[in-house]
Amino acid sequence: VSTGRLPMLLGLSADCSAWQCETIDRVFARGLGKRPVDTLAVKEILTLLPGSLQILLTKEPWKEQTPKFIDWLFSLMENADEMLTQSSRELLKASLLALRSLPEFKKKAVWTKAYGW
């Protein structure tokens, strides 16, 4: 039965009545993230990050924060090299390149750094 609300993550919606919150507490107590389906869900959600970030940064008030997001992505890529898996680094790069249509990305210093020139 659909309530007409979109889940934010794994069945959690933006509003949380008292009985729903108690249910959520029980889910966390059982060990959210310890089942194979949880790992699969996280991987699938992460594939949406590049497109979601691009959409987010076209909307107010996030639009004006685009340079900070670009700097943050560069910082993660440069400073967390030994701590991130190859797939995580590729996800960061894809997230950065997904911003290529935004005016802040089109600055020469940004796109040349992003493409490694």
**Chain segment 47-104, per-residue pLDDT in tens:** 888 999 999 999 999 999 999 999 999 999 888 777 888 888 899 999 999 999 999 9
Whether 93 is covered by a domain: the verdict is yes
Whether 7 is covered by a domain: the verdict is no
Whether 13 is covered by a domain: the verdict is no
Question: Which residue blocks in 11-79 are alpha helix, DSSP H?
Answer: 18-30, 36-46, 49-56, 66-79
Residue 69 contacts by C-beta under 8 Å, 6 or more apart in sequence? 53, 57, 99
Whether 103 is covered by a domain: the verdict is yes
- CA 31, CA 21: separation in Å to the nearest integer? 16
Whether 1 is covered by a domain: the verdict is no
Number of domains in the chain: 1
Q: Which domain holds residue 62?
A: 21-116
The answer to whether the predicted template modeling score (pTM) of the entire model surpasses 0.75 is no
Whether 78 is covered by a domain: the verdict is yes
